[in-house]
């Protein structure tokens, strides 16, 4: 009962039994995993990533066939076809859209809200959270650097202390490094409406990630999920947390080689920056779908050390809920 009361704002907002969101992971958060999370009482989120409108439309339709429960769609604000993707979510009556990858434009927020879609955005700092609320967003996710994939510079625990006491206008969900129910309960007690987990769901039976990808998760510890290295501040690299492998080692050397070519006059600065950015092109798909965990990008959060086996998504969620309930009883 304590748990139900603590995350009631989150479950009311999401329309789900539990205020546990599935993090949107490219190539991973598709119809199978998303519907499994929603059917188990959580709230699945489709990762649109670089999908075009036709692909997103197909993925939403497939998910709707597999679940009658609410789920969301994550859209990248820098996507060149963002307007068309928003139209797809409206036409297919998606209930919640997560705008990620940068500050969304107010007209995009308004268009979604005018069509009865709840808008969720990421806030890496209190000042940004307040700005997003002024622009009309319905909920905030704060995600710390312990998360997998593209990350910010601040830890989850610090973000929670900075933002949760200050933001009361909208539900706030906490993400990054969460792998057990006790941590969920902790953030709920601090004022969160719920939590978002990604890494923990990769080894769900319903997840389509390659067996090699899942097995590496099971073998890895928290310290294996490292942040990509930036060699030269003049050539900025968006930090990504992934399990270290040959590809991550080569990325550092690739930067060195590219910068040498720039200094030798073989490339201009823009060409050099593009070469550095393109190093990882297709690398996540190579690991997730093809199973090449040596040369692909194995994005994972530090909670990977808490992933011990492949199990049904329903079992994962039941474990999290049971752990959260028990920790609250012990208070």
Average pLDDT, integer, range 39-61: 97
Q: Provide the pLDDT confidence category of residue 331 given band limits of 50, 70 and 90.
A: low
Identify the DSSP state of 306: G
Tell me if 301 sits within 8 A of 148, measured CB to CB: yes
Q: What is the pLDDT of residue 321?
A: 98
Quick: pLDDT tens for 149-203.
Answer: 999 899 999 999 999 999 999 999 999 999 999 999 999 999 999 999 999 999 9
Q: Which two tokens stand for residue 106?
A: 């107010």
Q: What is the pLDDT of residue 238?
A: 84
DSSP string, 11-47: HHHHTSSS-EEEP--TTTSSHHHHHHHHHTTSB-EEE
Alpha-carbon distance 286 to 253, whole Å?
20
3-state SS, residue 5? helix
How many C-beta atoms surround the C-beta of residue 304 within 10 A?
29
Go through 170-192 and write b for each residue having 16 or more CB atoms within 10 A of its CB, e for each that does not.
Answer: bbbbbbbbbbbbebbbbbbeebb
Quick: pLDDT tens for 69-126.
Answer: 999 999 999 999 999 999 999 999 999 999 999 899 999 999 999 999 999 999 999 9
What is the helix (H) or strand (E) element at residue 285, kind and residue range?
Answer: helix 283-288
Tell me if 33 sits within 8 A of 313, measured CB to CB: yes
Quick: pLDDT tens for 306-329.
Answer: 999 999 999 999 999 999 999 999
Distances (CA, A) of 300 to 114, 199, 251, 326: 36, 6, 17, 27
Tell me if 223 sits within 8 A of 244, measured CB to CB: no
**Predicted TM-score (pTM) of this structure:** 0.95
Identify the DSSP state of 104: P
Q: What are phi and psi of 84, to 5 degrees?
A: -65, -35
Environment class of 302 (CB within 10 Å of its CB; exposed 0-12, middle 13-18, buried 19+)? buried
Residue 45 pLDDT exceeds 80 = yes
Q: Provide the pLDDT confidence category of residue 330 given band limits of 50, 70 and 90.
A: confident
Q: What is the pLDDT of residue 237?
A: 87
Quick: pLDDT tens for 198-233.
Answer: 999 999 999 999 999 999 999 999 999 999 989 999
- Domains of the chain in start order, with CATH, are 2-209+307-329 (3.20.20.70), 221-299 (no CATH)
pLDDT, the chain, mean: 96
Tell me if 78 sits within 8 A of 55, measured CB to CB: no
Q: Provide the pLDDT confidence category of residue 282 given band limits of 50, 70 and 90.
A: confident
What is the helix (H) or strand (E) element at residue 65, kind and residue range?
Answer: helix 53-66
3-state SS, residue 120? strand
Q: Which is nearest to 179 in space by CA: 147, 150, 220?
A: 147
Residue 1 pLDDT exceeds 80 = no
């Amino acid at each position: 009962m304590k748990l139900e009361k603590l995350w009631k704002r989150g479950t009311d907002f999401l329309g789900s039994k539990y205020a546990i969101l599935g993090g949107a992971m490219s190539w991973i958060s598709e119809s199978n995993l998303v519907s499994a999370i929603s059917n188990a009482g959580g709230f699945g989120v489709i990762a649109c990533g670089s999908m075009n409108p036709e692909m997103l439309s197909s993925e939403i339709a497939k998910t709707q066939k597999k679940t009658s429960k609410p789920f969301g769609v994550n859209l990248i604000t820098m996507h060149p076809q963002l307007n068309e993707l928003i139209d797809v979510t409206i036409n297919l009556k998606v209930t919640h859209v997560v705008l990620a990858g940068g500050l969304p434009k107010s007209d995009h927020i308004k268009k979604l809200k005018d069509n009865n879609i709840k808008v969720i955005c990421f806030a890496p700092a209190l000042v940004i959270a307040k700005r997003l609320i002024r622009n009309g967003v319905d909920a905030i996710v704060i995600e710390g650097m312990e998360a997998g994939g593209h990350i910010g510079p601040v830890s989850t625990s610090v973000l929670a202390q900075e933002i949760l006491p200050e933001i009361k206008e909208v539900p706030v969900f906490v993400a990054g490094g969460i792998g057990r129910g006790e941590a969920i309960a902790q953030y709920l007690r601090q004022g969160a409406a719920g939590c978002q987990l990604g890494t923990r769901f990769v080894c769900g039976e319903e997840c389509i990630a390659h067996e090699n990808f899942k097995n590496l998760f099971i073998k890895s510890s928290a310290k294996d999920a490292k942040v990509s290295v930036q060699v030269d501040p003049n050539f900025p690299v968006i930090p990504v947390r992934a399990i270290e492998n040959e590809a991550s080692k080569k990325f550092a050397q690739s930067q060195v080689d590219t910068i040498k070519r720039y200094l030798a006059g073989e490339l201009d600065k823009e060409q050099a920056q593009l070469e550095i950015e393109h190093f990882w092109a297709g690398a996540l798909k190579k690991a997730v779908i093809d199973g090449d965990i040596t040369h692909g990008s194995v994005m994972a959060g530090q909670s990977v050390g808490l992933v011990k086996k492949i199990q049904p998504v329903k079992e994962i969620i039941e474990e999290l809920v049971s752990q959260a309930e028990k920790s609250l009883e012990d208070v």
